[in-house]
């Protein structure tokens, strides 16, 4: 077990999913060897044609298939960082991160850009010069440790570089060098 993170051995991955107007989904993953994502080892994107429509309270049903696709060939995961919530309330109502934790069996850190009314347990994290916090939740590791990792992640802006890069890749049009 790594001393700097309460997770097993493996790669650190930040992932995001985008839903183009044309349909389907594009998932992106940024892979690093350290929890700060200070040195990106790889990045990849995958297009998924058939995705479920958004259903309130069932967001994970739409988001998990593209995450599965982009993480399929990455190797052994040690930590997954997602754009969203791990759990949705102090009682542990499962969010996307909890479903990803059950699926991939690794600690998951949820980093949300906006407050969710029932997620009163989320740890607000301010990064860079921003006065607007990120809202950090976690499963498979303590929330305060997850918040500290998000605080320390590479990048001088509000959104950590790895999540920002995953977002940009997920929104990009496919090209000849992308999968």
Phi, psi angle pair for 88, to nearest 5°: -105, -5
The C-alpha angle with vertex 73 and arms to 15 and 179, in degrees rounded to 5, equals 70
Q: pLDDT truncated to tens, each residue of the chain (179 aa)?
A: 233 444 457 899 999 999 998 889 999 999 999 999 999 999 999 999 988 777 766 777 789 999 999 999 898 999 999 999 999 999 999 999 999 999 999 999 999 999 999 999 999 999 999 999 999 999 999 999 999 999 999 999 999 999 999 999 999 976 544 44
pTM summary value:
0.90
Q: Which domains are delineated in the chain?
A: 11-171 (3.30.2170.10)
């Amino acid at each position: 077990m790594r001393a700097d993170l309460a997770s097993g051995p493996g790669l650190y991955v930040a992932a995001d999913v985008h839903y183009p107007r044309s349909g389907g989904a594009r998932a992106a993953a940024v892979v690093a060897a350290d929890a700060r994502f200070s040195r990106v080892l790889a990045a990849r994107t995958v297009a998924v044609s058939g995705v479920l429509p958004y259903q309130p309270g069932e967001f994970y049903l739409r988001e998990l298939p593209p995450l599965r696709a982009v993480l399929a060939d990455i190797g052994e995961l040690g930590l997954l960082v997602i754009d969203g919530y791990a759990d949705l309330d102090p009682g542990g109502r499962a969010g996307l991160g909890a479903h990803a934790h059950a699926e991939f069996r690794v600690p998951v850190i949820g980093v949300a850009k906006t407050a969710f009314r029932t997620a009163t347990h989320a740890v607000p994290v301010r990064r860079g010069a921003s006065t607007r916090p990120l809202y950090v939740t976690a499963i498979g590791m303590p929330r305060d440790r997850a918040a500290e990792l998000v605080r320390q992640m590479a990048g001088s802006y509000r959104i950590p570089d790895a999540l920002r890069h995953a977002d940009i890749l997920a929104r990009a049009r496919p090209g000849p060098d992308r999968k």
